[in-house]
Amino acid sequence: MAPPTTTTTTELGIDVRPVAGNIGAEIHGVDLREELDDATVAEIRSALHRWKVVFFRDQHIDHAQQVAFGRRFGKLTPAHPHEDAPPEGHPEILPIDSRRYNKFFAGAPADAKKLKATYDNGWHTDVTALVNPPAGSILRAEIVPPYGGDTQWTNLVAAYEALPEPLARLADSLRAKHSFGQPIFEGSEYGKKIKANPLVAIHPVVRVHPETGERALFVSPSFTSRDNEIIDFGPRQSRAILDLFYEQISRPEFTVRFRWNPGDVAFWDNRATAHLGPSDVDITAFDRVLYRVTLEGDVPVGVDGRESELVAGQQFLGS
């Protein structure tokens, strides 16, 4: 019997090497410093749709090359709705820089400050408090700690498909409120900035992916973390049902864990995944610096064809 395939080599000679059973593949044979042709872009997109997050090792691209790579897949948004200090000349780049978080969390409890290697270290899909959350995110590592600081992703399509049928039907019918701002920001300068520009959206709990047609369990714990977030449910019912879904999306078999090296790039489909920032880095001892760009997203659509609703804020558009 032939051994099972571990690598798919495409017509262009690009290797797609899955790294976990349900999510995540390394792509080899592509140099992100070079301008990519349409066929290569199409193959990366197809691997992204299949594996939800793809990894490129040892690329060492700079801000301009990251922006150019991102633009091959769509419009890029500004760095973040609450970001006011992107790198000079690169308004699309969001620094995930442990050295900045000491400032961000000034006023927050000391233990929180010590652990914060990222602005959000709970499971989340990027910026789902927007009515049009980013379609994709591209993150590259520049400085990584000698140990700790891995990122994990989970496949929200696999999580949905593994729900018991009656629970999937219930999920199909629900909508939930997503708001920006975790309790950890309270009292800090960053917290004040969020309060001044609130972002709130109501999304279907199951969204239909506009390109693959797949259904994803679109709950984003960091953004749907308060009581009374499932529309028409009371606080206790909402908490109970969200806990069920959160447990489902964080089951280990739907996840992949990525150990960063400097120069690595991760590109995820933000419409079909959630991810978990690390909380195991002592940023008073080690620096951790990564840079993110996000692709402009569409307004999610539920199983019943209904779109998400904007409650506060505005659409986040790119160029």
**For residues 52 and 174, which CB has a smaller minimum distance to Fe ion in the complex?**
52
Nearer to Fe ion, 131 or 138 (CB): 138
232 is catalytic: no
Interface region with Fe ion, contact rule CB under 5 A, candidates 118-126, 177-185, 207-215, 219-227: 118-126
Q: How many Å apart are CA 7 and CA 265, to the nearest integer?
A: 19
Catalytic residue among 63, 124, 207, 271: 124
Q: What is the DSSP letter of 298?
A: P
Give the residue at shortest CB distance from Fe ion: 126
Q: Which is nearer to Fe ion, 43 or 126 (CB)?
A: 126
Phi/psi zone of residue 153: left (φ > 0), alpha (ψ -120 to 50 degrees), beta?
beta
Residues 14-53, interacting with Fe ion (CB under 5 A) = none
Tokens at residue 39, please?
């066929």
Least CB distance to Fe ion at residue 117 (A): 12
209/292 with CB nearer Fe ion: 292
Encoding tokens for residue 189?
Answer: 């300068």
**Minimum distance between the CB of residue 103 and Fe ion, rounded to whole angstroms?**
19
Distance CA 107, CA 90 (A): 29
Least distance CB 277 / Fe ion (angstroms): 6
- Residue 63 among the catalytic residues: no
As measured in angstroms, the least distance from the Cβ of 168 to Fe ion is 26
From residue 176, alpha-carbon distances to 67, 132, 204, 219 in Å are 32, 14, 6, 8
From the list 24, 223, 4, 260, the residue with the least C-alpha distance to 124 is: 223
x/- letters, 122..141, toward Fe ion (CB under 5 A): ----x---------------
Distance of CA 89 to the CA centre of its chain: 24
Answer yes or no: 124 catalytic: yes
> In angstroms, what is the minimal distance from the CB of 126 to Fe ion?
5
Which of the following is catalytic: 63, 90, 178, 292?
292
Catalytic member of 120, 126, 264, 269: 126
Q: Is the dihedral of CA 230, 155, 290, 148 positive or negative?
A: positive
Cβ proximity of 204 and 308 under 8 Å? yes
Piece of 28-36, 53-61, 66-74, 120-128 that binds Fe ion (CB under 5 A): 120-128
126 carries an active-site annotation: yes
**Is 97 an interacting residue with respect to Fe ion (CB under 5 A)?**
no
Q: What's the min distance (Å) between Cβ of 13 and Fe ion?
A: 32
157, 205, 273 from 177: Cα distances, Å:
20, 9, 18
For residue 167, give every residue at least 6 positions away whose Cβ sits within 8 Å of its Cβ, in sequence order, or none: 244
170 vs 181: CA distance, rounded Å: 28
Counting residues that bind Fe ion (by CB under 5 A) gives 1
Query: What's 4's DSSP letter?
Result: P
- The catalytic site residues sit at 124, 126, 275, 292
Residues near Fe ion, by CB under 5 A: 126
